[in-house]
């Protein structure tokens, strides 16, 4: 395949980790006979420094013309960087919100995987972590409470604030379809999470998810209330395959799920629109405290690139090869500083990229 990928190196450790992900993708292209064309664009602080704004129309146009976008991360030290003296609409994060909106990315995917070799970092009891887990949280990203009408008023001297949680059936259907499609690439189980015992929006969510499920008889559907799901994530995380949920529940549950893995440098993510297009990025930030030192862990970005191969390009074999390379490198005892444990071999960011690329077969 001939693949056009727009890269956003971004700020802080972004350029270092994106360089390693490109290295691994280039090896995939060489081994599996693809051509990958990379075009870099500026976003966040890097764009502010050159253009005075965190995202230009030209950068958006370049991203839109690509088959997929691979991003590092954006932003600087929020207390010392001059970027944070700018008005909010000109700060680095405005670039991220702007590109998500421009690309209509409504589905956010965050895998939470416990690797055997990193089980010691898992904060759960050993009898729970021993079973391992490999789940994917699919969160609706452009609707619900964060986008509903809101206001703060004063009535008879009492301040009152109102937020509204709105979903229409089309918004629910398109994310449910994504969730079931993706479950077909995994273990074929969807846990739809809602608060249908209280909220009308959740009752509609449940109905529409059931309608979509009728088209996927090969995928098991279960419903779970969000409060129960929050408990089950720490009690028995191995039960989950795809967790499908609305915006705010997904925001909270995906952070909870990622924390039970215990390894921030390992967490990939993807945001998709209703075509095969997606923006792929690590879940962590730009880590300005370690930027430029060649010590960042590039694995979250490399695993995000694997998600790009799987979900935007349907190159499952190639995605499997990248994920297998990550497992192999961990098995051989190589670790960046953030996941280091006694007896392992400490590597830098570039060396980790070299090791991963060498294990793509």
Closest distance to ligand NAD from the beta carbon of 217 (Å) = 37
Residue with Cβ nearer ligand NAD (81 or 312):
81
Burial track 279-302 (b if 16+ CB lie within 10 A, e otherwise): bbbbbbbbbbebbeeebbbbbbbb
H or E segment and range at residue 154 = strand 150-155
From residue 336, alpha-carbon distances to 23, 110, 121, 219, 294 in Å are 17, 22, 14, 38, 10
Whether 218 is a known active-site residue: answer: no
Residue with Cβ nearer ligand NAD (265 or 353):
265
Which position among 40, 251, 294, 354 bears the catalytic label? 251
Whether 194 is a known active-site residue: answer: no
- Interface residue with ligand NAD among 60, 118, 233, 287 (CB under 6 A) is 287
Q: Does 286 bind ligand NAD (CB under 6 A)?
A: yes
Can you tell me the distance from the alpha carbon of 228 to that of 8, in angstroms, rounded to the nearest whole number? 38
Closest distance to ligand NAD from the beta carbon of 283 (Å) = 7
Residue 105's closest CA among 246, 305, 269, 277? 277
Q: Does 237 bind ligand NAD (CB under 6 A)?
A: no
Which position among 168, 236, 255, 314 bears the catalytic label? 255
- Interface residue with ligand NAD among 15, 237, 285, 353 (CB under 6 A) is 285
Whether 77 is a known active-site residue: answer: no
Which position among 116, 181, 227, 314 bears the catalytic label? 227
Name which of residues 64 to 83 contact ligand NAD (CB under 6 A).
73-76, 78
Would you give the binding string for ligand NAD spanning residues 298-317, x where CB under 6 A is met? --x-----------------
Residue 258's closest CA among 118, 353, 131? 118
Q: Does 351 bind ligand NAD (CB under 6 A)?
A: no
Residue 177 has φ and ψ, to the nearest 5°, of -60, -45
Residue with Cβ nearer ligand NAD (237 or 288):
288
User: Cα–chain-centroid distance for residue 61?
Assistant: 22
Q: Does 297 bind ligand NAD (CB under 6 A)?
A: yes
Pairing of strands 278-282, 268-272: antiparallel
Which position among 195, 294, 338, 354 bears the catalytic label? 195
Q: Where are the alpha helices (DSSP H) in the chain?
A: 14-32, 45-51, 57-65, 92-102, 126-129, 169-183, 200-213, 226-235, 247-261, 299-307, 316-331, 349-358
Whether 216 is a known active-site residue: answer: no
Q: Does 290 bind ligand NAD (CB under 6 A)?
A: yes
**The three-state (H, E, C) secondary structure of 93-126, written as one string:** HHHHHHHHHHCCCCEEEEEEECCHHHHHHCCCCH
Residue with Cβ nearer ligand NAD (93 or 194):
93
In terms of Cβ atoms closer than 10 Å to its own Cβ (0-12, 13-18, 19+), residue 126 is exposed
Closest distance to ligand NAD from the beta carbon of 294 (Å) = 11
Q: Does 98 bind ligand NAD (CB under 6 A)?
A: no
Closest distance to ligand NAD from the beta carbon of 159 (Å) = 29
Whether 195 is a known active-site residue: answer: yes
Residues near ligand NAD (CB under 6 A) are 13, 73-76, 78, 93, 96, 264-265, 281, 284-290, 296-297, 300, 338
Q: Which are the catalytic amino acids? A: 146, 195, 227, 251, 255
């Amino acid at each position: 395949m001939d693949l056009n990928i727009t890269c956003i190196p971004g700020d802080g450790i972004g350029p270092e980790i994106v360089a390693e992900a490109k290295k691994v993708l280039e090896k995939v292209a060489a081994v599996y006979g693809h051509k990958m064309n990379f075009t870099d664009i500026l976003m966040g602080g890097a764009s502010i420094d050159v253009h005075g704004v965190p995202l230009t129309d030209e950068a958006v146009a370049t991203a839109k013309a690509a088959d997929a976008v691979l991003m590092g991360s954006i932003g600087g030290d929020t207390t010392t960087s001059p970027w944070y003296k700018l008005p909010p609409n000109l700060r680095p994060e405005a670039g991220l919100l702007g590109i998500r909106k421009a690309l209509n990315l409504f589905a956010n995917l965050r895998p939470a995987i416990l690797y055997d070799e990193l089980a010691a970092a898992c904060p759960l009891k050993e009898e729970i972590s021993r079973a391992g887990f490999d789940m994917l949280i699919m969160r609706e990203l452009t609707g619900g409470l964060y986008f509903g009408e809101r206001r703060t008023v004063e009535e008879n001297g009492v301040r009152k604030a109102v937020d509204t949680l709105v979903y229409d059936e089309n918004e629910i259907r398109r994310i449910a379809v994504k969730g079931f499609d993706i479950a077909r690439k995994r273990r074929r189980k969807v846990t739809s999470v809602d608060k249908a015992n209280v909220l009308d929006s959740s009752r509609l969510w449940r109905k529409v998810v059931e309608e979509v499920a009728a088209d996927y008889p090969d995928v098991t559907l279960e419903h779970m209330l969000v409060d129960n799901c929050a408990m089950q994530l720490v009690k028995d995380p191995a039960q989950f395959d795809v967790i499908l949920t609305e915006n705010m529940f997904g925001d909270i549950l995906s952070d909870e799920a990622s924390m039970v893995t215990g390894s921030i440098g390992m967490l990939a993510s993807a945001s998709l629109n209703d075509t095969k297009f997606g923006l792929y990025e690590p879940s962590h930030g730009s880590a300005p405290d370690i930027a430029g030192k060649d010590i960042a862990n590039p694995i979250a970005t490399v695993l995000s690139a694997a998600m790009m191969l799987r979900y935007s390009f349907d190159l499952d074999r190639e995605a499997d090869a990248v994920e297998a390379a990550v497992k192999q490198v961990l098995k051989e005892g190589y670790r960046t500083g953030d996941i280091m444990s006694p007896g392992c071999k400490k590597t830098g960011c570039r060396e980790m990229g070299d090791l991963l690329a060498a294990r793509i077969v």
